[in-house]
Amino acid sequence: MTDITICGAGIFGLSIAWVCLKRGAKVRIIDPNGPGSGASGGFVGALAPHVPENWNDKKRFQFDSLILAESFWQEVDQLSGLSSGYTRSGRFQPIVNDRGLELAKLREESAQKLWRDKASWKVVPLDSNSSWKLMSQTGFLIYDTLSAHIHPRKACNSLLEAIRYKGAKVVTDAKQQGLTIWATGVAGLEVLSTDLGYSVGNAVKGQAVLLKPKVSLPSETPQIFAKGIHIIPHKDGTIAVGSTSESEFSTSHVDNRLKNIIEQAKQIVPLLNTASVIDNWVGFRPRASTRAPLLGAWPNRSDHYIANGGFKIGFGIAPLVAEMMADLVLDKIDRIPKNFQITIK
């Protein structure tokens, strides 16, 4: 007999399954397209915080999950024998003007209060980035020690193997048994919107490229965020660049945008000028109308729950999403922020 049925084998579904299995529940995961086939199947994996100011439930939740992530992925990888690619090596952001430098210094002060001794956000001189050889108009960078990165495809594979070790697996079709958690991404937002009679979210396109540089970077090289794109040095020697947010879905636009992403990356990091493109990814990510994740009970559906709307921070918040959803469905303990929960209008 199954205690929990999880519909959806993306990062939310797999993470929730893992935590529920650890707590002794019998779990079945259903996904007609297989694990990591949707928005979780990319390769950027930037686990990066929002700026440390104007603290709210979403920023607090993200911070707590980023702190939890290291132990979460260590345990998963140790059991699976695979690597998720998790590395907490921080992030550089070039400061482009005097106003940006002023804001960065103010945020350095707020990070000391909000992040306490668990992470820091500092303004550092340009020569702090010897591996990347970045440029900065002001001569300064932001460096935060909270940011980490992961290889999404490898992370899903590591979770999947750990889940198999615990006696569960992903199937393409089966009857729902026990309590049901819907972690079905864009398709799930559409179903939920129809059921509630108002739009709870929509699909936003993201895209990225995977590069192989000729020069190897040290394993603890920080990631970069500049000009609206992430540049992620993965443990396997590849560098992921992306991922954008757009509403234009045409093929010609995708091709042009991917070319633009590559050119932007080369301008930011000159060493990428000789890198070769080995893969690209285009997908649709679930963005909730509230811009916060949608977690909790499905209104008017007894024993049905929602875990959706991860958008660009899904991998970063997945560890805490999994813990709170397991608390809710297994122990009836509701720790989910009220503004994350689904309401009837």
Task: Render each residue's pLDDT in the chain as its tens digit; 345 residues.
Answer: 899 999 999 999 999 999 999 999 999 999 999 999 999 999 999 999 999 999 999 999 999 999 999 999 999 999 999 999 999 999 999 999 999 999 999 999 999 999 999 999 999 999 888 889 888 899 999 999 999 999 999 999 999 999 999 999 999 999 999 999 999 999 999 999 999 999 999 999 999 999 999 988 988 999 999 999 999 999 999 999 997 777 666 666 667 888 889 999 999 999 999 999 999 999 999 999 999 999 999 999 999 999 999 999 999 999 999 999 999 999 999 999 999 999 888
pTM for this predicted structure:
0.96
Cα 220 from Cα 216, distance rounded (Å): 12
Strands, E assignment, the chain: 4-7, 27-30, 46-47, 91-94, 121-125, 140-144, 148-149, 170-171, 179-182, 201-212, 223-226, 229-233, 239-242, 276-288, 294-297, 304-308
Asked whether the beta carbons of 230 and 241 are under 8 A apart, the reply is yes
